[in-house]
C-alpha cells in the first residue's frame, strides 16, 4: 500500500484495526461468559481482562495521547495496567464484566475511527505515518496471540476450528550456508517498527550454516528417544536444574500413550505430527536439543541476516521474500490455520539463503539475550521494551501461526523467560562454517 497518500494510509489503518477486532471477536465469542472470566492458567489473564485492556490501551494512546480527549473511565485504568497487577492476580480484580468490557472496547473504537478520519497523519512523531494507530493495531494483534495461548491452555471441548495449512514441497537440503560479511540489522525506515527494532546498524558476521527449516517434532522425538531429557551433558546448569524441578519430560501438551506421543491442541488429542515444527518448547529444551545434535541455537543477528540479507544488492529486505507484505503464499500467519505448516512448506516465502519458514509457523528461540541495539532510544514508552532488557529474557524471532502480519516482519523482536513454553515457540539450529579462532590467533 502507498503509505504516503493520506487517504490510502487511513484506509490501511482502518483495515488493520478492523482485522484485529474481528480476531478479538472470534477469540472472545467462542466461549461463554463463565469461561471469559475464568483463569485457565496462572500464566495468563482471564480473556475478559485482555478484552478491556485492548480497549484501554487504545483509549490511552489514541483518544487521550493523540486526540487530547479526557479519560472515559479513569477509575478503571489501574485495573488494566499490566505493571500494576501480575497475571495470576487479575481474576480477583473488580474487572468489567464481559458485556461491559465489550461495550467499552466498542465505544473506544467508534471514537477512534472518528479521530482517524479527522487526524493529520504527520507533523508529530506519534502521528507520522500513522505510527500510534499502527502501534495499537499491533498491540491488539499481540493480545490476540496471547488469547490464543489462553485457548491452548484451556481444558474442555474444542471451540476453535480452521482449515489445515499447505503441504511441504521438496526435497530440501538440511542446512543452508550464510556467507561471511556485513549486513544491516534493525531499521530506520519501517514505519510501524517498535523502538527495540531501531536503529539500523551494521553487523559483521562469520559464515555459518543454518537449518533450512525449523526443527521438526519427528527430529525432536529422536532426542527424546535417545534419552536427551535424562542426560545433563546436553543442558546448561540452569536448564538442567529447571528440567529437574519442573519435571520436564517432553514438550508442553505432549502425553505418552503406549509407545506413541500424543499432543493436545485446542481441545483435541492427536498423534504428534512428525513433519510439523516442534512447538511449545522452552529455551532450555531448544538449547539442549541443539547441543545433542552437535549444533547450537543461532544468534539473533544470524537469524536476521538469514531472513533479510540480500547478497545481490547488499541491502536488508523487510521479509525473506522481499519487501511486499506477507500474503497467504508467503507465510503461515494470522491464525488462518491453527497449527504450524509442515517443515518445508511455503516455497514462495524462501529467503535468498534458501531457508524457509523464517516468518510464521513458530516463534524461533535464538541464543541472544534481549538488549537494545547501539543507539537505542525508548519510544514512545519505556515499558514496552526497555524495562525487559537484560540476560533474564531470550529473544524469539519470526512470528508464529498465531501472530498477524501487522505484528510480524524481518526486524520484529519478541522475548520471554527461558523457562516459558506455553507460547508458540520452536527453534532451528546453526553451526559455525569455519573453526573459530581465538583472540590473537
Ligand atoms: C512482545 C509479546 C512480549 O505480551 O508481554 C502486549 C507484547 N506488550 N502488551 C507481551 C505486549 C504490551 C509483549 N510481548
Ligand atoms: Fe498489552
The tens digit of pLDDT for each residue in 43-63 reads: 999 999 999 999 999 999 999
The answer to whether the beta carbons of residues 207 and 434 sit under 8 Å apart is yes
Q: How far is the CA of 142 from the centre of ligand 1 (A)?
A: 6
Cell of residue 56, nine digits: 484501554
**Residue 116 Rama label (left phi>0; alpha psi -120 to 50; beta):** alpha
Q: How far is the CA of 436 from the centre of ligand 2 (A)?
A: 42
Greater model confidence, 170 or 29: 29
- The fraction of the chain above a pLDDT of 90, given in percent, is 97
Q: How far is the CA of 143 from the centre of ligand 2 (A)?
A: 6
Q: What is the position in ligand 1's atom list of the atom closest to the CA of 53? A: 9
45 close to ligand 1 (CB < 6 Angstrom): no
Q: Which of 49, 146, 283, 403 to mutate to test the pocket of ligand 1 (most atoms within 8 A of CB)?
A: 146
Query: What are 266-291's pLDDT values in tens digits?
Result: 999 999 999 999 999 999 999 999 99
Cell of residue 7, nine digits: 487517504
> 302: which residues sit within 8 A by CB, 6+ positions away?
178, 205, 208, 210, 366, 430
Task: Report whether pLDDT(79) > 50.
Answer: yes
139 close to ligand 1 (CB < 6 Angstrom): yes
Ligand nearest to C-alpha 58: 2
Q: What is the position in ligand 1's atom list of the atom closest to the CA of 413? A: 1
438 band by pLDDT with thresholds 50, 70 and 90: low
Task: Report whether pLDDT(129) > 60.
Answer: yes
* pLDDT, position 30: 97
146 close to ligand 1 (CB < 6 Angstrom): yes
Cell of residue 48, nine digits: 475478559
Q: Whose CA is nearest to atom 9 of ligand 1?
A: 139
Average pLDDT over residues 135-152: 98
Write the secondary structure of 15-75 as one string of H (helix), E (strand) and C (coil): HHHHHHHHHHHHHHHCCCHHHHHCCCCCCCCCHHHHHHHHHHHHHHHHHHHHCCCCCCCHH
Q: How far is the CA of 439 from the centre of ligand 1 (A)?
A: 39
Query: What are 207-223's pLDDT values in tens digits?
Result: 999 999 999 999 999 99
Q: How far is the CA of 57 from the centre of ligand 2 (A)?
A: 7
The whole-chain average pLDDT of the chain stands at 97
Q: What is the position in ligand 1's atom list of the atom closest to the CA of 415? A: 3
Query: What are 220-242's pLDDT values in tens digits?
Result: 999 999 999 999 999 999 999 99
Q: How far is the CA of 160 from the centre of ligand 1 (A)?
A: 23
Distance separating alpha carbons of residues 121 and 5, to the nearest angstrom? 10
- The fraction of the chain above a pLDDT of 70, given in percent, is 99
Half-sphere exposure of 361 (CA within 13 A, CB side): 33
Q: What is the position in ligand 1's atom list of the atom closest to the CA of 388? A: 3
Nearest to 85 by CA among 105, 56, 113: 56
414 close to ligand 1 (CB < 6 Angstrom): yes
pTM for this model (two decimals): 0.97
Write the secondary structure of the chain as one string of H (helix), E (strand) and C (coil): CCCCCHHHHHHHHHHHHHHHHHHHHHHHHCCCHHHHHCCCCCCCCCHHHHHHHHHHHHHHHHHHHHCCCCCCCHHHHHHHCCCCCCHHHHHHCCCCCHHHHHHHHHHHHHHHHHHHHHCCCCCCCCCHHHHHHHHHHHHHHHHHHHHHHHHHHCCCCCCCCCCCCCCCCCCCCCEEEECCEEEEECCCCCCCCCHHHCCCEEEEECCEEEECCCCEHHHHHHHHHCCHHHCHHHCCHHHHHHHHHCCCCCCCCEEEECCEEEEEECCEEEECCCCCECCCCCHHHHHHHHHHCCCECCCHHHHHHHHHECCCCCCECCECCECCCCCCCCCCCCCCCCCCCCCCCCHHHCCCCCCCCCCCCCEEEEEEEECCCCCCCCCCCCCCCHHHCEEEEEEEECCCCCCCHHHCCCCCEEEECCCCCCCCEECCCEEECCCCCCCCC
Q: How far is the CA of 409 from the centre of ligand 1 (A)?
A: 16
Q: Which of 56, 80, 142, 148 to mutate to test the pocket of ligand 1 (most atoms within 8 A of CB)?
A: 142
* pLDDT, position 1: 59
The answer to whether the beta carbons of residues 306 and 300 sit under 8 Å apart is no
397 close to ligand 1 (CB < 6 Angstrom): no
ipTM for this model: 0.99
Q: How far is the CA of 324 from the centre of ligand 1 (A)?
A: 25
Q: How far is the CA of 25 from the centre of ligand 2 (A)?
A: 17
Q: Whose CA is nearest to atom 14 of ligand 1?
A: 414
102 close to ligand 1 (CB < 6 Angstrom): no
Q: What is the position in ligand 1's atom list of the atom closest to the CA of 384? A: 8
Task: Report whether pLDDT(374) > 90.
Answer: yes
* pLDDT, position 3: 81
Q: What is the position in ligand 1's atom list of the atom closest to the CA of 414? A: 1
Task: Report whether pLDDT(5) > 70.
Answer: yes
Task: Report whether pLDDT(436) > 90.
Answer: no
* pLDDT, position 441: 42
How far out from the chain centre does Cα 6 lie?
29
415 close to ligand 1 (CB < 6 Angstrom): yes
Amino acid at each position: 500500500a502507498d503509505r504516503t497518500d493520506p487517504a490510502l494510509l487511513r484506509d490501511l489503518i482502518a483495515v488493520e484495526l478492523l482485522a484485529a477486532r474481528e480476531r478479538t471477536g472470534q477469540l472472545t465469542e467462542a466461549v461463554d461468559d463463565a469461561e471469559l472470566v475464568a483463569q485457565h492458567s496462572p500464566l495468563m489473564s482471564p480473556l475478559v481482562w485482555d478484552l478491556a485492556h485492548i480497549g484501554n490501551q487504545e483509549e490511552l494512546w489514541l483518544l487521550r495521547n493523540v486526540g487530547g480527549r479526557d479519560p472515559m473511565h479513569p477509575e478503571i485504568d489501574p485495573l488494566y495496567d499490566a505493571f500494576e497487577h501480575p497475571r495470576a492476580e487479575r481474576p480477583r480484580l473488580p474487572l468489567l464484566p464481559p458485556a461491559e468490557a465489550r461495550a467499552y472496547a466498542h465505544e473506544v473504537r467508534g471514537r477512534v475511527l472518528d479521530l482517524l478520519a479527522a487526524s493529520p497523519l504527520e507533523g508529530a512523531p506519534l502521528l507520522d505515518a500513522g505510527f500510534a494507530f499502527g502501534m495499537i493495531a499491533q498491540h491488539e494483534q499481540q493480545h490476540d496471540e496471547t488469547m490464543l495461548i489462553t485457548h491452548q491452555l484451556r481444558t474442555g471441548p474444542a471451540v476453535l476450528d480452521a482449515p489445515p495449512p499447505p503441504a511441504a514441497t521438496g526435497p530440501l537440503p538440511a542446512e543452508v550456508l550464510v556467507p561471511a560479511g556485513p549486513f544491516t540489522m534493525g531499521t530506520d525506515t519501517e514505519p510501524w517498527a517498535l523502538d527495540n527494532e531501531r536503529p539500523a546498524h551494521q553487523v559483521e558476521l562469520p559464515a555459518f550454516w543454518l537449518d533450512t527449516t525449523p526443527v521438526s517434532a519427528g527430529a525432536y522425538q529422536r532426542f527424546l528417544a535417545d534419552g536427551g531429557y535424562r542426560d545433563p551433558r546436553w543442558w546448561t546448569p540452569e536448564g538442567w536444574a529447571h528440567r529437574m524441578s519442573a519435571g520436564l519430560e517432553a514438550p508442553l501438551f505432549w502425553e505418552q500413550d503406549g509407545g506413541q506421543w500424543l499432543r493436545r491442541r485446542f481441545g483435541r488429542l492427536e498423534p504428534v505430527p512428525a513433519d510439523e515444527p516442534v512447538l511449545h518448547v522452552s529455551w532450555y529444551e531448544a538449547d539442549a536439543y541443539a547441543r545433542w545434535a552437535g549444533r547450537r541455537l543461532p544468534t539473533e543477528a544470524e537469524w536476521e541476516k538469514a531472513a533479510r540479507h540480500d547478497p545481490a544488492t547488499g541491502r536488508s529486505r523487510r521479509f525473506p521474500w522481499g519487501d511486499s507484505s506477507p500474503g497467504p503464499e508467503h507465510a503461515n500467519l494470522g491464525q488462518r490455520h491453527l497449527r504450524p505448516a509442515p517443515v518445508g512448506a511455503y516455497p514462495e516465502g524462501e529467503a535468498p539463503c534458501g531457508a524457509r519458514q523464517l516468518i510464521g509457523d513458530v516463534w524461533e528461540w535464538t541464543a541472544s539475550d534481549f538488549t537494545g541495539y547501539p543507539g537505542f532510544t525508548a519510544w514512545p514508552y519505556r515499558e514496552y521494551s526497555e524495562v525487559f532488557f537484560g540476560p533474564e529474557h531470550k529473544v524469539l524471532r519470526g512470528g508464529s501461526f498465531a501472530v498477524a502480519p501487522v505484528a510480524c516482519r524481518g526486524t520484529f523482536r519478541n522475548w520471554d523467560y527461558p523457562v516459558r513454553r506455553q507460547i508458540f515457540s520452536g527453534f532451528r539450529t546453526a553451526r559455525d562454517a569455519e573453526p573459530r579462532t581465538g583472540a590473537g590467533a
